[in-house]
Amino acid sequence: EESIRQYAARTPKSKEAYALAREYLAGGETRSIAYHRPYPLTVRRAEGCRLYDVDGNEYVDFLGNYTSLIHGHAHPEITKRIVEAVSVGTACPAGIEDQVELGRILCERVPGIERIRFCNSGTEATMFAVRAARAFKRRDGIIKMEGGYHGTADFAEFSIAPPVDPKVKRTVFEPVPESFGIPVNAGRDLFIAPFNDLDEVENILKKHHPEIAGIIVEPVLGALGVIPPAPGYLEGLRRLADTYDVLLIFDEVQTLRVHYGGAQSKYGVTPDLTAVAKIIGGGLPVGGIGGKAEVMSVFDPLKKEHLSQSGTFNGNRATMAAGIASMELLDRGAIDRLERLSERLEAGMVKAIADNAIPATVTRVGSLLNLHFTAEKPHDYQSVLNPHFDKLPLYHLEMLRRGYFLAVRGTWALSTVMSEKEIDGAVAAFGEVMEEMRP
């Protein structure tokens, strides 16, 4: 409560702005995830890795619009390309060369992408990846991981944060809709397995493979808190997919940034379909469905029977130009530099946790990190649960008070415009918060 009082004292204009927002926007925001107590900030301006709210407070942005701004805000090169692009028309009812160029860049970098199609969000990307798998295999069943987040299409809104059955003290592996409004029937063809558990996937496949089209998985669980795959897990999924003749779909919407060729390059496992978004749009709305040429041929209009995928703003000029600039800037050197900064942040956080004897751990893959208030590193949904979630709001507000903007769920995403100065500042602030939270 003291934390909330201090937050309110620094942000009176954000409070007013939020009250006004509630007059017009349902729930005061258009992204449910952005809400936190007592009210979210209203940001007026952003530049590089810094945000400035309507009260004039400055924050170092370690969220980067939910991991999508890998080069920070208003990067001069990306802004220049966007301005050039919009000056010849924002969107076009026919093909444009930049769409092909961004496609070429991604096909050359990501092993599992031989052909790609664009859309406007990660939600659409995973939705169409799943649809492509169903069309290719002519089967409806999909295996999804418990705690896995694939956006907000009906199929994806199952078992993201399911209740734990108190009697058996384990989660319910039936597909559980995330809220009312999600048709229960949309989960009818879903099979849920815990992350990092190959046996459960094999059990499902043994029983149901003739009705299963594919397995969708984030190579690293993102929204749940940057949970890496156990050694051999992704290879195991590849093997099971081949053995039981189903497709393997990687949701690389968040993880593309962890390596020059995405998490699939880092771990050396090539999926049949890959959903991408976030960083490939250079800060503008984007999604992409990529895959092996044979599988992606389901979209080919030259085929009598094909899967239709359209969207008014698919492959629009502004997004394609920003995406090309973003990917060009993210060369191998930039990724190496991000890796070194992330290691430095991780080491600082781990030391602060140990110095204060907090039962917490840090998970990290590339430039994505997450603090967990758990004694051991979590490996699946169940191992992330309480007391982790109870402590996050206080941690989040205390970091915010010190000028560090993080996700409420504890995620840190670094950007290439950061330097050791921002990292060391963040470690110092983090150390203070850990001292405050000392048991």
List residues binding ligand PLP (CB under 6 A): 66, 121-123, 126, 149-151, 218, 222-223, 251, 253-254, 277
Q: Is 251 a catalytic residue?
A: yes
Q: Which is nearer to ligand PLP, 14 or 121 (CB)?
A: 121
Please tell me whether the peptide bond between 378 and the residue prior to it is cis, using omega within 30 degrees of 0: no
Q: Which is nearer to ligand PLP, 21 or 280 (CB)?
A: 280
Q: Virtual CA dihedral for 354, 356, 361, 366, nearest 10 degrees?
A: -70
Q: Among all chains, which residue has been given the structure tokens 């890998």?
A: 70
Least distance in angstroms from the C-beta of 348 to ligand PLP: 25
Least distance in angstroms from the C-beta of 147 to ligand PLP: 11
Least distance in angstroms from the C-beta of 101 to ligand PLP: 22
Where do the H-state alpha helices sit in 68-121? 76-86, 97-109
Q: Which of 66, 149, 381, 404 is catalytic?
A: 149
Angle between helices 317-329 and 97-109 (to 10 degrees): 30
d(CA 348, CA 358): 14
The enclosing H or E element of 86 equals helix 76-86
Least distance in angstroms from the C-beta of 55 to ligand PLP: 28
Residue 431 has a CB neighbour count (10 Å cut-off) of 17
CB 373 within 8 A of CB 392: yes
Least distance in angstroms from the C-beta of 249 to ligand PLP: 11
The enclosing H or E element of 2 equals helix 2-10
Q: Which is nearer to ligand PLP, 112 or 222 (CB)?
A: 222
List the one residue out of 376, 363, 380 whose CA is nearest residue 194: 380
d(CA 146, CA 143): 10
Q: Is 149 a catalytic residue?
A: yes
Residues 6+ apart with CB under 8 A from 400: 7, 41, 59, 406
Q: Which of 144, 278, 292, 391 is catalytic?
A: 278
Least distance in angstroms from the C-beta of 326 to ligand PLP: 15
d(CA 293, CA 28): 44
Q: Which is nearer to ligand PLP, 78 or 221 (CB)?
A: 221
CB 61 within 8 A of CB 73: yes
Least distance in angstroms from the C-beta of 287 to ligand PLP: 6
Residues 6+ apart with CB under 8 A from 304: none
Secondary structure (3-state) at 89: coil
d(CA 288, CA 281): 10
Q: Which two tokens stand for residue 259?
A: 């390596």
Beta 141-146 vs 190-194: how paired, if at all? parallel
Q: Which is nearer to ligand PLP, 14 or 68 (CB)?
A: 68
Q: Which of 98, 251, 272, 380 is catalytic?
A: 251
List the one residue out of 362, 368, 346, 381 whose CA is nearest residue 414: 368
d(CA 283, CA 39): 25
Q: Among all chains, which residue has been given the structure tokens 């060391």?
A: 424
C-alpha neighbours within 13 Å on the C-beta side of residue 377: 14
Q: Which two tokens stand for residue 371?
A: 């603090």
Q: Is 266 a catalytic residue?
A: no
**What residue number has its CB nearest to ligand PLP?**
122
Least distance in angstroms from the C-beta of 142 to ligand PLP: 14
Q: Annotated catalytic sites, by residue? A: 149, 251, 278
